[in-house]
Amino acid sequence: MKKSLGVHIILEFFGCDPNVIGRRDYVEKIMAEAAQKANTHTIGTFFHQFKPHGVSGVIVIEESHISIHTWPEYGFAAIDFFYCSDHVDADKALEVLKEGFKPARISRLEFSRGAVKELEAHQINPEQVLSFV
């Protein structure tokens, strides 16, 4: 039995090349490749180039989302990867991200989200759920 509904990985990449993490087109390409290699299914994407510098973007996946915010002036990228499927291979995504952004140092925190025991203790009767259809 599953212990949680999903996994949330928070990555901090330090010492990245500012010319790499400052380009929306390149950041989007690497993020899309990471999502694909992790065996996720993309629903939609949105990436934005800030002036004078920085990129923010999100890839919505059937399994949840992958997002990034970059600060080229600090060589820093903050990446979130939240997924709710046993078929996702987060380590393959991380390999792509490391190869693409070439950080000097990485911080990784991983959390379980939606503990099943806690959810079961607060489960709602399906008849109580409102229908908006």
**Residue 11 to residue 69: CA distance in whole angstroms:** 11
**Residue 91 to residue 97: CA distance in whole angstroms:** 10
Whether 53 is catalytic is no
Whether 107 is catalytic is no
Asked, as a colleague might, if the bond just before 52 is cis with ω within 30 of 0, I would say: yes
Whether 131 is catalytic is no
Which of 84, 85, 87, 122 does the annotation list as catalytic? Answer: 84
Which of 8, 64, 67, 131 does the annotation list as catalytic? Answer: 64
110 φ, ψ (degrees, to nearest 5): -130, 130
Which of 48, 69, 87, 112 does the annotation list as catalytic? Answer: 69
Nearest-10 crossing angle of helices 24-37, 90-101 = 150
* Catalytic residue set: 64, 69, 84
